[in-house]
Amino acid sequence: MAEEKAPAAEAKKPEAKKKEGPTKRPSAKKRDLQSEKNRLRNRSYRSSVLTAIRSLEQSIEKKEGKDAVQSKLNAIYGLMDRGVKKRVYKPQKAARTKARLSSRASKI
């Protein structure tokens, strides 16, 4: 009798079909969505910083007053420091950019 039940149990088991290739897990999909969202946010922030830098360079070319240039420079400093805090920029990148801009601004 034990032999009769064994083959019947095997017939009831569904065969597992093995998928080919690696599959993404839900956590990987979530990470992809997070990365994309962060990429777009960082891109937008970098764009605003570059716009401010362009504005400063135009002020320098037009030889506007020192007060105007200094206020734009201070605004860029704030944006860069906030970008470092939010991890949009690495600290050394921000320091290097600020140093270069201040040297250009001091030549007025």
pLDDT digits (tens, 9 = 90+) for 46-77: 999 999 999 999 999 999 899 999 999 999 99
In a domain, 95, yes or no: yes
**Distance (Å, whole) CA 80 – CA 85:** 9
In a domain, 2, yes or no: no
In a domain, 1, yes or no: no
> Could you report the per-residue pLDDT of 75-104, keeping only the tens digit for each?
999 999 999 999 999 999 999 999 999 999
Quick one: how many helices (H) and strands (E) in the chain? 4, 0
What was the pLDDT predicted at 20?
A: 74
pTM higher than 0.85 for the full model? Answer: no
Range of the domain at 107: 65-108
In a domain, 94, yes or no: yes
Name the residue type at position 41: R
| Tokens 């960082």 sit on residue | 42
In a domain, 22, yes or no: no
Structural domains in the chain (count): 1
In a domain, 92, yes or no: yes
